[in-house]
Amino acid sequence: MALALSLAGLLLLLGGLATVVACLFPGYRARHPGRVGWAAVAAVLGFLTLVAAGQLMKQVEETQRAQPSGPIAISEQPPSGSAAVTTPPGNSPIERRPWIVIPLAFLLALFMVTAMLEWSAAFLVRRPSRGTVPVEPDELKNRLLALNRSDVQYRLVPGKQCDLELEWDVVDTSWHNLFSKIKLNTVYRTRMLFVPARHEVRWCEWLSSSGFFIGFRGWRPVFDFSWSLQVGYIDVVWKGRAYGVQAGFPPRVERVYDFSLNTVQVKRDISGVVMGSGWTFRPVIFWFQAGRSRLSALLDSYSPTPFPSWPETRVWLLVAAGSYVLFLGYLLWAIGGFTARDFWTRQNTAVVAAISAVWWGMWGLLTWLLVCLAKPKRKHA
């Protein structure tokens, strides 16, 4: 009973919070008027249901402990001065209240990863040279639209919820092989939002790929379908060629399609024009950060810089490190590590230190690689 209540409460809470966040977007709110009120009520009911389920589980556990199932064994207690405080089995927070501890751990992990992504994105911001006078937004838009040349595969067009969008239909074709048909579709999109108050262009990328195969492999009929989506900062360099069976008699295997994608060069072209116009090129990790919505306006009103003299990378490093320590401490508290003296042995401390070193080392290496790819190529004389 208590487990069913906790599951229902968790679903109500997560569903209500997700709907409230979705209602911050104008398009969703216009299609579903009045849904935000019901979503808030569902979230509150879900939280109250979780609390009630927790109290019910606690009562059941206390009742079971109050009724011993066998003879009571009396053991000698060690002296109080040499006694080690240990956590009784089954008495850690994650064992007593998993319906609350696990969702909070998920939220803390999500906050930690978001903070570390923002820290990495802060290194990818490219600023213009000193002394470069920023141009007007209309002039910047005209300079970017001038990149629509015949020798480039992408197109820059005005956006609906942003200033400009980049469209690139990388692959959209189908072909036949022996006793099979293959279709491949890959679409690359970007958003650019101008922020005149800060003279910056926010940039977010979106890459979607899908494909299917229907036919025979050997004597076995096969149907495969795949789909993938990437959002944020994407560095991809593709180059390929597809071969298939052409119609006619006798059948011929010929080249069907050539495709290529180089998002690194696209960012270099766009950022070069932006910085040459005196504006800052700022990649963002979420799609709504590069669009006009209530959520993005709310985030704009909040400044993550408590110390104006600090660079943005240092501020986000402080937030990321604090969120990591908070998440790690929460996990240790959840398993009862703070109340058990025998937990802090040399082996356990070394394991925690090794995990932290590997985590930060891999994240730092990934950030360094992204920064190296973002640098413009040097032109040799």
290-347 pLDDT, tens digit each: 888 777 777 666 555 555 567 778 888 888 999 999 998 888 888 876 666 677 778 8
The residue-averaged pLDDT of 129-141 equals: 92
Q: Domain extents for the chain?
A: 1-61, 90-123+303-376, 131-288
Q: What DSSP string describes 201-222?
A: EEEEEEEEEEEEEEEEETTEEE
**Which tokens sit at 11?**
């679903």
> What's the rounded Cα separation, in Å, for the pair 267 and 234?
10
Q: How far apart are the first and last CA of the chain?
A: 76
Q: In this model, does residue 144 exceed pLDDT 90?
A: yes
Q: In this model, does residue 164 exceed pLDDT 90?
A: yes
By the 8 A CB rule, do 11 and 45 touch? no
19-32 pLDDT, tens digit each: 776 666 555 666 67
pLDDT at 82: 42
pLDDT at 230: 87
Query: CB under 8 Å to 10, separation ≥6 — which residues?
Result: 46, 50, 99, 103
pLDDT at 113: 92
Please work out, in degrees rounded to the nearest 5, the angle formed at the alpha carbon of residue 13 by the alpha carbons of 12 and 15. 65
The residue to which tokens 């929460």 are assigned: 330
> What's the rounded Cα separation, in Å, for the pair 30 and 17?
18
Q: What DSSP string describes 222-288?
A: EEEEEEEEEEES---EEEEEEEEEESSSS-EEEEEEEEEEEHHHHHHHHHHHHHHTT-EEEE-SSGG
Single pTM value for the model: 0.67
Residue bearing the bigger pLDDT, 154 or 40: 154
Find the helix packing angle between 346-374 and 312-334, rounded to 10°: 150
